[in-house]
Amino acid sequence: MKEMYPKNGRVILHVDMNSFYASVEMAFDPDLKGKAVAIAGNVEERRGIIVTCSYEARKYGVKTTMPLWEAKKLCPHLVVMKPNFERYRAASTAMFELLRQYTELVEPVSIDEGYMDITESFSFGSPIEIAESIQKRILEQLDLPCSIGIAPNKFLAKTASDMKKPMGITILRKRDIPSVLWPLNTNDMHGVGHKTAEKLKTIGIQTIGDLAKANDIQLKSLLGINGIRIKERANGVDFRPVDPESVSEFKSVGNSTTLPRDISNQQELFHVLEGLADTVSTRLRRKTVMATALAITIRYKDRKTITKSMKLLNPIHHKEDISEVAKHLFLKAWNGDPIRLLGITGNELVDQDHAYKQLDIFSFEKDAKKEPLLNTLSNLREKYGKNIIESAGKHSKEQVENVGTETSFNKDFLRTFPEKRKDEH
């Protein structure tokens, strides 16, 4: 069986659960099978947003992030359910335990997908036999469907798993790239978003093939180092290892400051928190990570130090979001005494490539409107300095909204992995 494996290369699987949340609900309640099922926040509200839906619902045009009223208009018999965080985490844990029976080299990247390096797993059979075994066992033992990509690296494995859904198994070799990938538009490529695709069009790059043959200098000028990286991907080049420890490899990112004098004025302290949030945001973006938990540190003039932290429903890295959460934590922790030091730390960091926001009634419309502005402000601050633009909130009283404390069920399982390194400040 070993001769069915490459002598020098690797064999990587990408296992991607199909319509995970809806599938878990169907496994829990078999009466839902074959029905159009959607998971949505605030199911009683007209403004609710679809988080995910079954393939039966997708046949009617129902899509993720679609307003609930629109989904029901397309599919009047749609069964809408609230998300069950614990149920999804339990299913995810069981799925990853099964994957680790084939190899220790399993890298979770979200609650419903992960990479496996099976290069040394030939005792279980050929790569296709292992993929078929995994798919069959997940279906039989957990009653959940999945798609699997087989390839020599992570990028191609991820691309392959997206090609046949649900319950597909796809092999993608480097020699297949010119015929399979290059004819596709760049926005069909994993790791290239809509905005990047639009930028690429400005220099005449429409397809993945165009990107694969693009000029390095042009790409770097347009997109920075990321331009070179996505060109390598377009050519099937990806040396990233499957790393089981990757979920804990990122250090926490934080910033603290000793105040010039002991301060007890809330607005002054809020201003300090805004500055700290700006620095933490910049550091997160430079590392291309997002925080799924946030902590603040308060040191009083008597040197008594306390910390307050919270898990976040969604990963964050924008200054405005960090500042809002930090102020919320501050108001819960502060006893009113004069403060000598303040700090903000982003914890449980995740790669931006794998940070998926769970859209809900409170965030979807607001976030959709804010995103272009936030990106513009972020770019301006990075280019011209953090003081180039100040928000109106610095000059008026700010109302701190209640921030949801429910665990993000898409990144929730990552907390089971041990923290191995100290915080970075």
Please answer whether residues 200 and 211 qualify as being in contact, where contact means their C-beta atoms are separated by less than 8 angstroms.
yes
- Catalytic residue flag (residue 232): no
Provide the 3-class DSSP secondary structure of residue 277. helix
Alpha-carbon dihedral sign for residues 412, 418, 420, 422:
positive
Give which of 152, 96, 123, 114 is closest to 14, Cα–Cα.
114
Q: What angle do CA 319, 230, 153 make, to 5 degrees?
A: 110
- CA-CA distance, 66 to 82, in Å (whole number)? 15
Give which of 202, 346, 195, 218 is closest to 278, Cα–Cα.
346
How many other C-beta atoms lie within 10 A of the C-beta of residue 344? 30
Range list of β-strands (E), 23-145: 37-40, 50-53, 79-81, 106-110, 113-117
Residues 6+ apart with CB under 8 A from 151: 12, 14, 157, 159, 160, 171, 172, 173
Please answer whether residues 329 and 309 qualify as being in contact, where contact means their C-beta atoms are separated by less than 8 angstroms.
yes
Please answer whether residues 167 and 146 qualify as being in contact, where contact means their C-beta atoms are separated by less than 8 angstroms.
yes
The one-letter amino acid code at 128 reads I
Per annotation, catalytic residue among 25, 113, 324, 348: 113
Phi, psi for 164 (deg, rounded to 5): -130, 105
Residue 112 among known ligand-binding residues: yes
Residues 301, 302, 307, 308: what is their CA dihedral angle, to the nearest 10 degrees?
-70
Q: What are the angstrom distances between the C-alpha of 18 and each of 35, 36, 167, 176, 338? A: 15, 14, 7, 25, 53
Residues 6+ apart with CB under 8 A from 217: none
With 0-12 CB in 10 A as exposed, 13-18 as middle and 19+ as buried, what is 372? Answer: exposed
> Could you list the active site residues?
113
* Residues contributing to the annotated binding site for Mg(2+): 16, 112
* Residues contributing to the annotated binding site: 16, 112
